[in-house]
Amino acid sequence: MNDIEIMAPAGSFESLAAALKAGADSIYFGVGSLNMRSRSSVNFSLEDLHEIVAICRRAGAQSYLALNTVVYDNELDEVRRICDAAKSAGISAVIAADVAVMSYAVSIGVPVHVSVQANVCNLEAVRFFARFADVMVLARELTLPQIKYIISGIERDNITGPSGKKVSIELFAHGALCVSVSGKCYMSLGIYNSSGNRGACFQNCRRAYRVIDEETGEELVIDNKYVMSPKDICTVNVFDQLLAAGVKIFKLEGRGRSADYVHTVTSVYKEAAQACAAGSFTAEKVDGWIERLSAVFNRGFWMGGYYLGEPLGEWTGSGGNRAAKTKYHIGKVNKHFSRMGVAEIYLEAGELSVGDEILITGPTTGAVQFCVDELRHDGQSVQVAMKNAVISIPTPEKVRTNDKVYRLKTRVFGENTPSINA
């Protein structure tokens, strides 16, 4: 297990706590505008750096700062400012795709990981980037034999990074997959003048499209209007093969996802790693892991992805979330009584019944999911509590004041029901 690293995303302190609680070996996150999620609300501030690094250290996890966009000349001062702050905070490494970022980080002694945006597809590219980095993410489009060839070449030729250690290979293992080559997409730039390579993608590829003959006005009938929206990649079924190929670090996508998503995906891949280490990786376990992954946000799964040599042909077939469970916000935690293991909850937005499955999330709590087996209102045991009630329930672990409470419901596809699952 010391050779296997499960790398989890964090776009909030809730997700950070959830990832660490699920056993993440490393966390990656962004600050400011020079990362691939800069347009979204899932960025930390530069002032958060010291706290994030400290939280990761206490959990025994590495901390990686994504600084992986294309960079322009007028932004080089900002690059230096962020790298200097990262060094001061004690960051484990900076993830970069632009050589200017790599060069400056190395010059001040900050370790570098080469991002998937650099499209490392061959052994010569590894040799080139080895002057900057000890870790490289290979392009998502490589097949398993190609990955094996690169890793065996690193071993054979003793290709080392700045630290003097052999270069380690990281692979994108789970999550949203871009229709373009390793995320090098210009569609959003062309339509909205908002570049995906600058962290500002509008994801217009995720929409439904019609194909119309401009001369006749005749519309072509296609089975799936989501012709540019791939399913999410899922590699838990081939985790043992990727590990046998020599992959050391498994990156999970999802800085824009919720704490329960991060907790579920991280825990599943951590269990897969542990099963491989223990020699207990089985088809039955894979089935169970896929079922759990299906319960949180997904666009359907492309099992194994390009790594199995398959061409991209797995499209979502729908406009959004295919999670097997939907979550509804129903309340918040007023307080938690640690000695009794009981939480007092205000049902500000919905009702709750004995037997319901709920999710509680918070910046320190992360994500706690369980079934309600007892419910008390006004000191009395009840089966159902209505909106605006203050109730008490036993919890399997400590939760905290102002944590959010959600009721989970198994989703029936085709239902026109609202969802805030993300």
Domain shared by 98 and 241, yes or no: yes
- The pLDDT, as a whole number, for residue 41 is 57
Task: Please give the DSSP secondary-structure letter assigned to residue 19.
Answer: H
Q: How far apart are the first and last CA of the chain?
A: 30
Confidence of residue 180 (pLDDT cuts 50, 70, 90): low
Per-residue confidence (pLDDT) for residue 227, from 0 to 100: 63
CATH number at residue 334: 2.40.30.10
Distances (CA, A) of 30 to 21, 35, 376, 405: 20, 6, 42, 27
The per-residue pLDDT for range 266-312, each reduced to its tens digit, is 999 999 999 999 999 999 999 999 999 999 988 888 898 889 887 66
Pick 419 or 37 by higher pLDDT.
Answer: 37
**Residue 394: domain span:** 325-410
Could you tell me if 404 and 342 lie in one domain? yes
Q: Which residues contact 60 (CB under 8 A, 6 or more apart)?
A: none
Mean pLDDT in residue range 408-414? 73
Lookup: tokens for 402: 């102002």
Number of domains in the chain: 2
- Comparing C-alpha atoms, which of 150, 204, 233 is closest to residue 319? 204
**For the domain that residue 38 is a member of, what is the CATH number?**
3.20.20.70
What are 252's two structure tokens?
């999970």
> For all residues of the chain together, what is the average pLDDT?
88
Checking if the pLDDT of 202 tops 90, the result is: no
β-pairing verdict for 404-410 and 325-337 = antiparallel
Tokens at residue 179, please? 């229709």
Which phi-psi region, left, alpha or beta, contains residue 312 (left: φ > 0; alpha: ψ -120 to 50)? beta
Residue 198 inside a domain? The answer is no
pLDDT bracket for residue 134 (50, 70, 90):
very high
Among residues 280, 308, 336, which one ends one of the domains? 308
272 in a structural domain: yes
What the block records as the tokens of 382 is 């009840």
The predicted structure's pLDDT at residue 372: 97
Please, which residues bridge with residue 331 across strands? 405
Between 141 and 217, the more confident residue is: 141
Q: Looking at residue 8, what is its pLDDT? A: 98
Asked whether residue 420 carries a pLDDT value surpassing 60, the answer given is no
Angstrom CA distances, 306 to 172, 177, 313, 326, 394, stand at 11, 11, 10, 29, 45
Residue 193 pLDDT: 62
Judged by average pLDDT, the poorest of 122-131, 200-209, 394-403 is 200-209
Task: Indicate whether 329 and 296 sit together in one domain.
Answer: no
- For residues 367-395, give the mean pLDDT: 95
- Residue-level pLDDT at 422: 44
Q: Which of 244, 273, 308 is the last residue of a domain?
A: 308
335-364 b/e with 16+ CB inside 10 Å = b? ebeeeeebbebbbebbbbeeebebbbbbee
> Taking a C-beta distance cutoff of 8 angstroms, is the pair 344, 392 a contact?
yes
- The string of pLDDT tens digits covering residues 23-66 is 999 999 999 877 666 555 567 889 999 999 999 999 999 999 99
224-245 pLDDT tens trace: 666 667 788 999 999 999 999 9
Q: How does DSSP assign 153-221, residue by residue?
A: HHHHHT-B-TTSSBPEEEEEEEE---SSGGG---HHHHHHS--GGGT----GGGS---EE-TTT-PEEP
Band (200; pLDDT cuts 50, 70, 90): low
* Res 191 pLDDT > 70: no
Tell me whether strands 301-303 and 232-234 are parallel, antiparallel or unpaired.
parallel
pLDDT one-digit tens code per residue, 91-109: 999 999 999 999 999 999 9
Classified as helix, coil or strand, 72 is coil
208 in a domain, yes or no? Answer: no
Query: What does the DSSP 8-state code read for residue 120?
Result: B
